[in-house]
Structure formats: structure tokens, C-alpha cells
């Protein structure tokens, strides 16, 4: 089974102090640590498990700068066979639709049975790339996938719904699935696997290689444009109360009374 996994190189912002850059339309990325998108990590692990069971190949694709090679090499170390990076300064400002357009032009001439992506991207919270890409390729797709099995040339998938429910679907192949966290446990990557991955070639493509122009992507070819970014105002403040037990208790009672809670 030939599998394509689309991954994204994103900044880790959970514990970082985020600042808006001078343009007011993006964050300052200098000093931030970048890694593979969390949902994509589960997608590549699922691809490797399918390959181990059924054979075939795994190709990972990303759209991003040269620094994104570290994410691709992590995928290669986990068991991917080939890696492709699309890099071009003209891609700046592209939304999920434009990124899907780029991926479509990479994938349309490739042979594949399955395409996996993460459910969403942690940097912009977009969950559009997978479904849009599937529509462009003219193949069926399903989102929020928690389980994949194969039977008689079809995929049987469990799709996560709200309220803890799941939907079971039978999908013809080739197909595209967006993978939810928790579908598996991503494996530990050994030092030896990382060293082998460092020796593998990463194919680099530009927009010209794909027959695309700046007008096809960037803000011009996008559906969504970011006009302004801002950090939300702090609505609650934490107050640390110190002193003896009696002083702390008195202070708590005072706060509760002031807020009308007692």
C-alpha cells in the first residue's frame, strides 16, 4: 500500500511568550522552537503501522522553509521512505486553500492508495487542508479518524463525533483521512534511525516546478486573509495570599464577601 502523509513544521507555543510582529499580522518566530505538528505525528505513526502490516511505501510532504527538513527527517526516522519539501518565498501569506492547491500539484501525478493528514494544524488551528485536498483530487475523505482497518479493498474507519460517540464508515480507496490524536502511540525514534534518516535525500520543489505562480498562492490565491492579530486581554488575575492561616482565611472571606458569594 502506497501512502502519502502531509505534515507541517510548526512553532511550539504552549509554554512560550507570544508577541505580535511589526506587521501586526503574524507572531514573532525568532527564538521559538519548531517541531512536527502534533496531529501529524499520529498520522505518520499510523502510516508506518499500515506499511508494517501490508507493505508498500510512505512519502511525506511538507510546504515550508528549509528548517522544515528537521520535521521531514523525523518522519524518515520513524519509517517513511521518501520526503518532499515545497519551498518558495512566494508562498508567504497562503491560507489552507492555497496550501492544499500546492499539495495537489505535488500529488496529482503520484501513485497512492491512501493520504493521511493531521486533523488540524496547531499554529493556525486550520482543519481545512485535508478535506480541500481530497476534493481537488476527486477522492473520498473522512475526518477525525480514530481507527483504520482494511477489508476487500476498502477502508473501515471510526470517526470521532461529539459527546464521545463514534461513526463507522466504509470508504473506497484511494481515500484521504485526517487523523485524530490518540489513534495510536507514536514510537520512540532511536539514534540509529535518526542517523540513517540524515543520509536520505529530501526532494525540494519550487512553485515553478509545480507549474504554479505567485497569483495561484500567496494572499492573491487564498480564500482567507489575516488582517490583524492581537493577544486577548487578561480577564482574570491570580492573587497569591500569604500570611498565617488565620490571615489567609480572613482574606479569603473578605474576597468572597466583596464578590457577593457569601
Listed by start position, the domains of the chain span 2-216
Q: Which pLDDT belongs to residue 29?
A: 81
Q: Which H, E and C letters describe the chain, residue by residue?
A: CEEEEECCEEECCCCCCCCECCCCCCECCCCCCEEECHHHHHHHHHHHHHHHHHCCEEEEEEECCHHHHHHHHHHHHHCCCEEEEECCHHHCCCCHHHHHHHHHHHHCCCCCCEEEEECCCCCCCCCCHHHHHHHHHCCCEEEEEEEEEEECCEEEEEEECHHHCEEEEEEECCEEEEECCCCCCCCCCCHHHHHHHHCCCEEEECCCCCCCCHHHCCCCCCCCCCCCCCCCCCCCCCCCCCCCHHHHHHHHHHHHHHCCCC
pTM: 0.85
Q: What is the CATH number of domain 2-216?
A: 3.40.50.620
The one-digit pLDDT tens for each residue of the chain (262 residues) are 999 999 999 988 777 778 888 888 888 888 788 899 999 999 999 999 999 999 999 999 999 999 999 999 999 999 999 999 999 999 998 999 999 999 999 999 999 999 999 999 988 888 999 999 999 999 999 999 999 999 998 999 999 998 889 999 999 999 999 999 999 999 988 888 989 999 999 999 999 999 999 999 999 999 988 888 888 777 777 778 888 999 999 989 988 888 888 8
Amino acid at each position: 500500500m502506497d501512502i502519502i502523509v502531509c505534515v507541517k513544521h510548526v512553532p511550539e507555543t504552549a509554554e512560550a511568550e507570544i508577541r505580535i510582529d511589526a506587521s501586526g499580522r503574524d507572531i514573532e518566530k525568532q527564538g521559538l522552537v519548531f517541531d512536527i505538528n502534533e496531529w501529524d505525528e499520529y498520522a505518520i505513526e499510523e502510516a508506518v503501522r499500515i506499511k508494517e502490516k501490508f507493505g508498500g511505501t510512505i512519502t511525506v510532504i511538507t510546504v515550508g522553509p528549509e528548517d522544515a527538513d528537521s520535521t521531514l527527517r523525523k518522519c524518515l526516522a520513524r519509517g517513511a521512505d521518501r520526503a518532499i519539501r515545497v519551498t518558495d518565498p512566494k508562498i508567504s501569506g497562503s491560507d489552507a486553500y492555497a496550501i492544499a492547491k500546492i499539495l495537489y500539484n505535488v500529488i496529482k501525478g503520484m501513485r497512492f492508495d491512501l493520504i493521511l493528514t493531521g486533523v488540524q494544524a496547531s499554529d493556525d488551528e486550520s482543519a481545512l487542508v485535508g478535506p480541500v485536498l481530497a476534493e481537488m483530487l476527486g477522492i473520498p475523505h473522512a475526518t477525525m479518524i480514530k481507527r483504520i482497518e482494511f477489508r476487500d479493498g476498502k477502508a473501515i474507519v471510526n470517526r470521532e463525533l461529539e459527546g464521545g460517540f463514534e461513526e463507522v464508515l466504509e470508504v473506497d480507496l484511494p481515500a484521504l483521512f485526517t487523523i485524530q490524536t490518540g489513534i495510536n502511540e507514536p514510537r520512540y525514534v532511536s539514534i540509529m534511525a535518526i542517523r540513517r534518516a540524515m543520509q536520505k535525500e529530501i526532494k525540494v520543489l519550487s512553485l515553478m516546478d509545480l507549474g504554479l505562480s505567485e497569483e495561484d498562492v500567496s494572499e492573491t490565491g487564498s480564500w482567507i486573509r489575516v488582517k490583524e492579530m492581537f493577544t486577548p486581554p487578561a480577564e482574570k488575575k491570580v492573587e497569591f495570599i500569604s500570611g498565617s492561616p488565620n490571615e489567609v482565611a480572613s482574606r479569603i472571606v473578605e474576597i468572597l464577601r466583596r464578590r457577593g458569594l457569601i
